[in-house]
Structure 1
Amino acid sequence: MDQQSERVKQFCNHPLRYARIKQEGVITGRSNNCDGCGDDSGYGYYCELCNIQAHVACIGWPDIINHPCHSRHPLKKVSPETIDYTDGKCQFCRSPLVDLMYHCSICNFSVDLRCWLNPAPLTIYEQKSHSHTLTLMARKDAFTCNACGLVGDRNPYVCLECDFMLHKGCINLPRVININRHDHKISRTYHLGHGDWECGVCRQKMDWTLGAFFCSRCPNYAVHSKCATREDVWDGKELEDKPEDEGEEDPYKVINEKEIIHFSHEEHNLKLGDDDNAADYEKMWCDACIRPIDSDPFFKCVECKFFLHKVCASLPRKKRNILHSHLLRLQYGDRHGKPFKCTSCLQYFDGFKYKCNFNSACIHMNILFDIRCSSISEPFQHELHPHPLFRTSKEHKTCGACGEDSEYVLSCIVCDFALGMDCATLPRKVKHRCDDHVLSLHHGAGSSNGQLWCDICEGKTDASVWYYGCDECGVTLHIECVLGDMCYLKPGNKYLGGELVPNHGMTRPICIVCEKRCMFPFFLKGIAYSDSTVVYACSRKCAYRGHDRWEEWYSKVHCE
């Protein structure tokens, strides 16, 4: 049938939906074809009540309409390509005008079919937003929203009794919420009050004459409305008239001044380590942060090899963190050599973690953070950058420490610098067998004018990225060479079929995959059950390669 030979008469006044014509189940009990031309391609409008559907071009739209937001003049039906003086966007939804539209040439006012068929309400009364009725005003001059403080270019909801304007999206702002940047609830106000305010999220100056969220317990804390309700900041819960959260769960029970029972190890008591015997535990690792016990105060299981730094034993069971909008809960490792991958720094670890169980999406995505990342707070101070760093946005940025693109970054509000979480959580000081002194993080060439070289792999060291160095010997080392890719896994556990072993022997074993001597702090040691053959993998990267010798050995061992 010729598309121009038959048109569907103007649709009813029922709400219409815009969708693909050929869509199974849109209207049951009928063929999925346009009622005008009979074709099943493209998009159009349909009404389930009247059982009709048609392309935009196949509907006999009225030539002239009256719009309640533009009562001074009628609007005429035109095609966008016939007018060249408009901005090409709908007055209300600001979508590009690509189909038929209704237009007033006197006022240069345009509205697309969707906004004419499904108009926004002309008046709104929302007591939580404003005490008077708000009226939709179609205007083109700029205005400032009293709720969020942002400038809009058209269509506010206006109070005709007082000087009050709102964006459409700000009418239903929550009244009381929790955000991941602050420990207390914050409340919405339409007048922040006199003061030198700075937003607690974006760190920009705030106009005290406009609305925002503020903390009643912290007199100097406030957040822009738009910043406070960002999806990476707010968990979406309205807390007005909601009871306070239940009390904090203690991570351990006190037996006496030197003995506790920790929730992660309830089968045995943990005893505070004695300073006199601290040297006996220098080669032990904390089961929470997977860092050496060293000289830090720690608890030790009285019956097995389980250790916790005192500070790690006191970690809260639940907390909010700047990296995720939902409440996080502390969980301990599964103790079966199954490492986790931190959502922010992307490092594999085997220790305590803060995990999100807020909804099915977070559970499906396995959102979790290791102890290092979940301990980051604002302002974050790093000795290699002179200014404090903040989690100001969720945008990807280039890390100034390694030059790699990162989703989770801390940003400087003074200069153009960003720091990825994997670099922000690097150990500031480390020990390595290649040097007798403590190594520290560095950037730049320092006093050296020549090329820098890594003393471990003997490759070039890029002074534009961070590296480890010795201030006394002048040694420069790649971060990867110093730490490897298994530094957050616990020695003695088994991963990918092999036991994680510290690389501090007199000789370094040869990796079965890359056939080089293992140069990293840890390596995997595997023993075949059939003939007791010992094999080694120098890194997780080597052990995980699907077509290399470690994989073949691992498969052979576990198939026997």
Structure 2
Amino acid sequence: MEKKVIDRFYHEHPLILIENVSNDETPNCYGCGIPVNDLEVAYVCTVQNCSNRIILHKKCGELPSQILHPKHPEHPLYLFDYHRSLGLWCDMCTCDLGKMLGYQCSSCMFDFDLRCKRISIDDILEGERQIEHPSHPNHPLTLMRKPLFSFYCDGCGVNDVDMVYICSTCEFMIHKSCASLPLLLPINLRYHHHRLSLAFIFPMEYRKYIFNCDVCFKRLDRTSWVYFCGDCRFFAHIRCVASTTTEIADEDSNLGGDDDGFDVVEFPLHARDISKELITPFVMREKGLNNIPDVADMPATVKMPETTARFSFLFNYHNHPLSLVSELPHKDDEVDHNDIMDARGEDDVLKICDVCVTPISSPPYYACAATACMYFVHSICYLLPKTLSSSAAAPSLSPYLYCKCPEPHYKTHRFTLYTSSELTDMDDSCQTDFCHGCTYYFNNSVAYCCSSSDCDFALHVECAMLPASITRREWNECHPLVLEFHASFDHPSDFICDFCEEELHPRRWMYQCRPCDLSFHLLCLDTASGGYRNIKFGRRFVLDGIHRNHPLTFNWITIKRRCDICHRNVYSYCGLECAPCYYVVCMGCARTELAKMMY
């Protein structure tokens, strides 16, 4: 005999179909309350020492989760456990309900006894040879128990041979199991934290956003039924959330051991952690160091290397010596990461490293003695190698790098960093050609691709490096903007970018302040997450040949649209500005004067 195993909502363990062997008294069926005879085939709990071990007749264990009752045609009745209910009776025969299973319509408080003498459950199940289903309201559907052909179900879209309800007029066919699906699925935290509604037609308002199932992550067939939560834009195949045999893979099944060492990185990173999590391991690996150099071994004064590279006068070039800051001047000067972007006085300025352009939260670091320069360098950034070794440059020799997948997978996936400049050079394990963060294609770029064979998730390196949170005082002084992967959860209204005022895709990455309901495109925050996020602004230059009145500040231009010299558009580009004079200069016009400072 086949050992069939089922899961039922009224018991915490799976039930297995076996022959009942009772050594003592004959046990009563958990479903109908009638004793189960010795050697009768029945469903029993698979856990021998279960404190609530139950047994059911085969017929009671295989009762459908939903029936259509002829005396209650308004709504379907759902299988209900009356063992924990008191004071209820069958609305047909008025017998008390207790210590058994039955059917109930919770909306109308209509209850039905499995042993009802007026209309038996067997008569109802036999009468379901012809039903009226809300998915096909124009004609009744007739049950074919043994179809002689395979068919495509108009509900789940699967092609197989199974019991089917068919409309002879329209050639409409649905599985019997699909016809019995509840219109409203109870909460199952394995999938979603809200009840899911059954849609027979994919809702039109979500067609421009939803493409994949949120459980299996495969493409949704928009002609098939779906379970969805409109408030969260959660959509799933009906078989992914309605099946009782779906198992969640072990969360760590795809993870390796602990031998990855410095190659394990968890994204997204906060800006303050980039130096520690990325640069420090890289320097130690490239220089063959086992430990970070001690402060006492670092030179007290250093000078940045001279270079004539293009635009080096704006970034890494600095002609003053740098002094080592090994400890904070005062105990109260420790940086509070929660208030790292709050208003500060002149003596408590936020220090930004001029090499990696991330905050310096604590010593040791190097600083220019000239206060006006505001030039700072992490001590570890100063140790960056001047040239890259062959092991770092060659993809075949460099170790793989991994990060945790930010998508809400039930299993944690690792990413492999591909250093090829062409997608065609990547091996077969990279199964996608676009970034799931910005949704742009991988054209001549470096990307992280998920190492799991059944996952096509991939990211540009730039998207993987997006900061986990940012603070913009011009938008909100109270809360940081958090990088959201699924901002649509519990957010039924549309998303409008507060910068460009265009609609945001609710299922794509965005920066959001949930308490204030502020949302932004990734690229709309140019200096925080867009194209200028790795540039340190604020350096001042005295350029008398261009503007004699005041020093010009290197900045992201937003105060004026056109350059005051060549009159070309400079708005939202890098340039030099004098805010008191309302004067801006594009980098092309300032290049000659700036180059003179290097000699």
TM-score norm. by structure 2 comes to 0.34
Q: Which has the larger radius of gyration?
A: 2
Higher relative contact order (CA 8 A, sep 6+): 2
Could you say which structure has the higher strand fraction? 1
User: TM-score, normalised on structure 1?
Assistant: 0.36
